[in-house]
Homo-oligomer: A and B are copies of this chain.
Amino acid sequence: MAKDKTNIYDVAKKAGVGIATVSRVINDSDKVKAETRDKIIQVMNELDYRPSKVAQNLAKQKSNAVAVILPSFVDHFFVEVLKGIQDSLEKKEVDLILYKIDVDEKRISKIMDIVHSRKVDGIAAITMNISNSNYQELLESEMPVVIADERSKDFHSIYFDNIKGAEMAVDYLFNSGHQKIAFINGDPEHYNAQERFQGVKKAFKKHKLDLDEKYIIESDFYAEDGYQSMQELLELPRSQWPSAVFAASDNQAIGAIQALEERALKAPDDIALIGYDNIELAKYLKITTIWQPMYKLGQLTIEVLLKAIEGDLKERFEKELDLSLIKRETA
C-alpha cells in the first residue's frame, strides 16, 4: 500500500504543534498566534494537505450539501429550475446532490433514506406531489425541507397559482373569440393538473361556456402525451374540432404541434394553441404560453432552504410566484 493521504496528525507533527491547533487554523478560529498559524499553513501547503470533508461532516454533524429531488432530469421545466438552484448555490460553498425519485408510493421512503444518510443538511423537493403522500415521518425528522412547485401547509413552500394560470389561458382564448376550447391536461393524479383543471372550469363558468367532455383530455405532461391527445381530438369529425386547445404544459403543446403538422395543419390558423410553462423551446417554436418563472423558483427555493438550515427562519415560509401570459404566434 502506497503512502496514504496525509491527515491532521501529519501536519501537526511536522509543524511541531498539537492537532487541536491545526484544527483551529482549518476552521480559522482567531485564537491562534499569527506566528504558529503561518507555520501551520506553510506545512499544510508543503504537504498539500486538505481536510477530509467526510471526517469533518461526521464530527460537525453537518455536511454543507443539500439534496435536490426531482422526478425527472431532462424535462425542460426542471432544467430551468436547476439553473436557478445552481446559481444561488454557487455563491455559498454548498454541494448539490441530485436525486431523481419517481412520484410513486415509495417516494417518501426514499426521501427518508436521504434524511437518514446524513449526507445533506437540507432537502429541496421539486414537483414531488408531497401533499398527496403520508409525509408525517419527514415532517418529524427535523430535516429542513422546502417544497417547490407545490403549496404545502406543513413545509416551507414556493409555488405558482395553477388555478389562476389556467384561467388566464382560457380567458385569453375566449377573448380572442374562441368558444370551442379543448383542454389537454397533465397527470390527473397530480396536484398541478388538478388545479389547472379547476382553473379551466372556473373560466368556463365565468364565460358561460359549457364543459364538453370530449374536449377534456387527461394524459400526462410530456410531449408524447400531447401528441396522443391532439390525435384524439383530430379524430373527431372535423365539424366538431375545437377551435382552440389549451395544453397544460409546453411539452404537450410541442407534441400537439407535431400532430397538427402531420396533418398539414397549423396553429393558430387551423386550431389555436396555448401552452404552459414557457420553457426555452416555447420561445423558439413561438408558442403562446403561460410563463411560470422557473429560474426564480429554483433560486428562491435554495435561498429559503439555506436560511432554514441556518435556523434563520422563524416561521414557515410560503410564497406564490407570479405568472404571466406570453403572447407569441400559436394563439
A interface residues with partner B (beta carbon < 8 Å): 2, 5, 48, 50-55, 57-58, 63, 65, 73-74, 79-80, 82-83, 86, 90, 95-100, 112-113, 116-119, 137, 142, 254, 280-281, 284-285
Which of A48, A96, A118, A280 has most chain B Cβ within 10 Å?
A118
> Are A54 and B118 in contact (CB-based, < 8 A)?
yes
Cβ 8 A contact of A52, one of B74, B80, B97, B116: B116
> Are A55 and B52 in contact (CB-based, < 8 A)?
no
Q: Known contacts being A54-B58, A55-B58, A117-B50, is A83 close to B90, with CB within 8 Å?
A: no
Cβ 8 A contact of A63, one of B54, B100, B113: B54
Copies of this chain in its oligomeric complex: 2
Report the separation of the CA atoms of residues A54 and B56 in the bound assembly, to the nearest whole angstrom. 10
Min distance, Cβ A98 to any Cβ of chain B, angstroms = 5
Report the separation of the CA atoms of residues A86 and B74 in the bound assembly, to the nearest whole angstrom. 10
Report the separation of the CA atoms of residues A53 and B120 in the bound assembly, to the nearest whole angstrom. 10
Q: Which residue of B lies closest to A80 (CB)?
A: B74
> Are B57 and A86 in contact (CB-based, < 8 A)?
no
Chain B residues near A63: list those with CB within 8 A.
54
> Are A95 and B119 in contact (CB-based, < 8 A)?
yes
Report the separation of the CA atoms of residues A116 and B47 in the bound assembly, to the nearest whole angstrom. 12
> Are B100 and A90 in contact (CB-based, < 8 A)?
yes
> Are B118 and A53 in contact (CB-based, < 8 A)?
yes
> Are B50 and A113 in contact (CB-based, < 8 A)?
yes
Cβ 8 A contact of A281, one of B51, B80, B112, B281: B281
Report the separation of the CA atoms of residues A2 and B51 in the bound assembly, to the nearest whole angstrom. 30
Q: Which residue of B lies closest to A95 (CB)?
A: B97
Cβ 8 A contact of A54, one of B2, B48, B57, B113: B57
Chain B residues near A281: list those with CB within 8 A.
280-281, 284
Chain B residues near A79: list those with CB within 8 A.
73-74, 79
Chain B residues near A57: list those with CB within 8 A.
54
Interface CB pairs A-B, < 8 A, 11: A52-B58, A52-B118, A55-B58, A65-B97, A73-B82, A86-B98, A95-B99, A95-B119, A96-B97, A96-B98, A97-B98
